[in-house]
């Protein structure tokens, strides 16, 4: 059985920058979903906090996740996102059952 990797990336936008962050994160969805090892890649927006966004990503294995992490569109996002992100948390998980 392959070990799927799930990444939960949580972002909090700087005040007044929620729409900019949402647009930047949304731009990552289509190219990521086309990656061979991508199983799912879904963006969530906080109901109670409009500055809160969570991307839940599932990849076939660690190699696929590492490939994703080096894609030009993701590297570009990382270079520019600091101007509208207050904080970010990225955690990787493996399935237990």
**Residue found by looking up tokens 């962050």 in the block:** 21
Longest dimension (CA), the chain: 45
pLDDT digits (tens, 9 = 90+) for 2-58: 689 999 999 999 999 999 999 999 999 999 999 999 999 999 999 999 999 999 999
Q: Tokens in use for 50?
A: 């409009």
Dihedral sign for Cα atoms in the order 71, 31, 53, 57: negative
1 pLDDT band, cuts 50/70/90, is low
CA distances from 97 to 36, 57, 58, 71, 94 (A): 24, 18, 15, 30, 9
- Please state the domain count of the chain: 1
The DSSP symbol for 11 reads: E
Domain hosting 49: range is: 5-94
The phi, psi pair for 83, rounded to 5°, reads -70, -20
The DSSP symbol for 14 reads: P
Q: What is the CATH number of the domain that holds 72?
A: 3.30.70.100
Q: What is the model's pLDDT at position 55?
A: 98
Q: What is the model's pLDDT at position 88?
A: 96
């Amino acid at each position: 059985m392959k070990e799927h990797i799930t990444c939960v990336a949580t972002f909090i936008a700087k005040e007044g920058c929620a729409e900019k962050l949402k647009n930047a994160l949304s731009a990552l969805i289509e190219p990521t979903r086309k990656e061979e090892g991508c199983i799912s890649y879904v963006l969530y927006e906080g109901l109670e906090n409009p500055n809160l966004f969570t991307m839940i990503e599932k990849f076939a294995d660690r190699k696929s996740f590492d490939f994703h992490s080096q894609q030009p569109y993701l590297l570009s996002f990382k270079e520019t996102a600091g101007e509208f992100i207050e904080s970010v948390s990225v955690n990787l998980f493996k399935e237990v059952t």
